[in-house]
Homo-oligomer: A and B are copies of this chain.
Amino acid sequence: MFEPLDTAPAYLRLSAAIRARILGRELGEGDSLPTETELARQFAVNRSTVREALRNLQSAGLVERRGGGKKLYVSRPAVGAVGDGLREALTLHEARFADVWEALLALEPAVAAAAAKRRDAVQLAELEAIAVEFGASEKLATEAVALVGRFFRALGRASANPVFVLANEPLVQLVEPSLAIIIDRLPQARRRIAAAQRAMVTAIRARDRAAAADWMRRHVEDFRRGFEQAGLPLETVVR
C-alpha cells in the first residue's frame, strides 16, 4: 500500500541525482556544472548541503576541477584515481602477495595477448622504448621499478581494453614495492626482466598473441620465484 519513504540525507539524494544525470549521459564529459549557489537554488537546499554532495561526486571521480580553476567539470574517473581506490580496498582486505600474484597470472597474459592483437605503431614504439631504457639501465632500484610499471601500463593501453587498463593499475601499484626489494636483493633480476621485456616486445611486434601471452606468463612466474628467493613469504600482506 505505502512505499517506504526515502529518508536518506539530502546530500546523498543530491549526489545520487547528479550521479544519475552523469551516468545517463544527460551530462557529458567536459560539461561544466552550475555554480554551488545555482545548484542550491535549483535543488532548494543550502549551499553547505550542495558542497557535501559535490565532495561525494568528486571522490568518485565523476566531477573534477581542471587546472587550478574553480569550475567543476563532469569527467570520467581517471585510471590513477580508480587504481588508488582499489589499492586501498585491497590493502584493507588484507590481500596477500600470493593473491595479487594469482590475479596477475590470470590477467597479464591476456593483456599481453590483447596488446599483440591490437597495438598500433605508436604503442609498440613506446613499449620498445621502455624496454630499451630498462635494458640499458644501471639505475637505482626505484627507477627500474618505475620503468617496469610504465611497461605494464603501456601494455594495458595497447590492449585497447578499458577493463584491462583499470584492472592493471592497482595490481601494478601493489606489486611495485615488492619488486623494488627483489631488484635490490637479486643481482640477476634485472637481466631476467630485461630479457622478458625484449621477448614480449618482439612477440607484440610480430602480433604473435600466443608468444606474448606465454612470455608474460613466464615473466609473472619468474616474479613469484624472485619474491621467494628474496626471502619474502608469499603470505605477506601487501600495502
Chain A interface (Cβ within 8 Å of chain B)?
Answer: 11, 15, 19, 22-23, 29, 48, 51-53, 55-56, 58-62, 76-77, 82, 85-86, 88-95, 99-100, 102-103, 105-107, 109-111, 114, 161-167, 171, 239
Contact = CB atoms under 8 A, between A and B. Distances in A.
A201 to B, nearest CB: 21
A198 to B, nearest CB: 24
Nearest to A160: B99
Contact of A55 (B11, B85, B103, B111): B11
A51 B62 CA distance: 20
Given A19-B88, A93-B166, A99-B162, 19 more contacts: A11-B55, A29-B92, A48-B51, A56-B56, A61-B89, A62-B88, A76-B89, A76-B92, A77-B88, A77-B92, A82-B89, A85-B85, A86-B166, A93-B162, A99-B161, A99-B164, A100-B163, A103-B161, A163-B171
Nearest to A111: B106
Contacts of A105: 110
Q: How many copies of the polypeptide does the oligomer hold?
A: 2
A225 B188 CA distance: 46
A95 B239 contact: no
A71 B5 CA distance: 22
A44 B222 CA distance: 51
Contact of A23 (B165, B167, B239): B239
Contact of A86 (B76, B86, B93, B171): B86
A88 to B, nearest CB: 6
Contacts of A164: 99, 102-103
Contacts of A162: 90, 93-95, 99
B62 A60 contact: no
Contacts of A23: 88, 91-92, 239
Nearest to A51: B52
A22 B88 CA distance: 10
